[in-house]
Structure 1
């Protein structure tokens, strides 16, 4: 014997048919469905745009940091009665302290490196990196030469990228700054790779300065050696 499924009352069947017809004609949920489908792509575009903006702002800030360090180092000096002003280890540390304050939100001391070089001329008239001072714990060496490069002869072409070398004329000096910073993406580590960002800046030393050395009079300051 076969059991027949229970049948709905005529009034309930009529209501069910009307509900089915109404749902078939209803298009109010199409926007919700489209939004649900497109949301992953919208989120990807929004976060990607934020990542690109953050990277662009970072490039500007690091460029300004390089210019600021070069400018401040070119101005710093200690006046001396009857002699040329001195440039001291204290002045170097003050320049780096100002740099640290301007990028303290970037954790620059851990992820970055500032290299300050004094580009001068040697006794032969060639280009010479007289001294270098550094700040930041990122392992990074100058791309253009270490302290003492070009001390003799004229083979050292100067500092900067090939085809755009910076050179100085005697008896002046240029404060050449190199910035290296390890960029870490905010969102898309696999799409935006972590990379090392480089920035350079150079400024002529303002006014007169004793270029024979960096002085460290008492009380002495810590040497920011490289």
Structure 2
């Protein structure tokens, strides 16, 4: 058979083209698919953490009578249910602070953190202050929160301020996203509570932030 005829047959043969195109396109398809799934998972994690912050602050503010350690256990039990799907307890931290006016006058007037409770295994310190801060001075004059966005409690009441931090757990460890820490804050006024000191009528283990 003439050499030119063999060459023409080879050029017309498209039997392996589909396989070659598949081999070239597969990595791109997998990358886009896995990346899209990972992005969706990250967005859902943000939603969970945001919802958890609002729920903790809101539920803590809904305790009408004097707040007890048992109430804190119930609030954090609700947080556990919300965060179960993202394994929040092992990889996150909730810091709940009770913010009130410190009752001081003059240059010492400001806000104080009467009590503070934490839940979750992540090692995170409170961002704006610890229990007892501001009690006798104006170190928390504007309340809690980032500069320019702080919030304070009104006289005669308290504010429940929740800081929630979570170390995002990716579905695949292929470097689609760098190490990501998700953080949200939320604050709610208490509803009609007259006594904002915390009691421990059942002698429960205090879920402090040490």
Q: Do the two structures share a fold, i.e. TM-score over 0.5?
A: yes
Contact preservation (8 Å) 1:87, 1:209: no
Aligned equivalent of 2:25: 38
Deviates more, 1:51-60 or 1:29-38: 29-38
* Cα distance change, pair 123–171 in 1 and its aligned pair in 2 (3 A): same
SS of the residue 2:123 aligns to: coil
2:159/2:188 contact within 8 Å kept: yes
RMSD: 2.1
* Residue equivalent to 1:7: none
**Range that drifts further, 24-33 or 40-49:** 24-33
Q: Given the two structures, how large is their TM-score scaled by the length of structure 1?
A: 0.82
CA distance, structure 2, for counterparts of residue 57 and residue 104 of structure 1: 13
Structure 1: 5+ residue stretches without partners: 1-12, 78-84
The one of 83, 102, 120 aligned to 1:103: 83
CA offsets per residue over residues 111-160 of structure 1, 9 Å max, x none? 11100000100111411111100101111111111111111122312111
For the residue of structure 2 that corresponds to 1:210, the secondary structure is coil
**Deviation beyond 6 Å, 4+ runs, structure 1:** 17-20
Distance 2:93 2:138 in 1: 29
TM-score, normalised by the number of residues in structure 2: 0.88
Distance apart, 1:18 and its partner CA: 7.8
**Aligned mates of 2:8, 2:192 — CA distance in 1:** 89
1:223 to 193, 203, 206: 206
Match of 1:57 in 2: 44
**Higher relative contact order, structure no. (Cα contacts within 8 Å, ≥ 6 residues apart):** 2
Of 46, 54, 58, the match for 1:67: 54
In the alignment of these two chains, the number of paired residues is: 204
Structure 1 position 21, deviation (Å): 4.8
- Cα distance in 2 between the residues matched to 1:113 and 1:161: 18
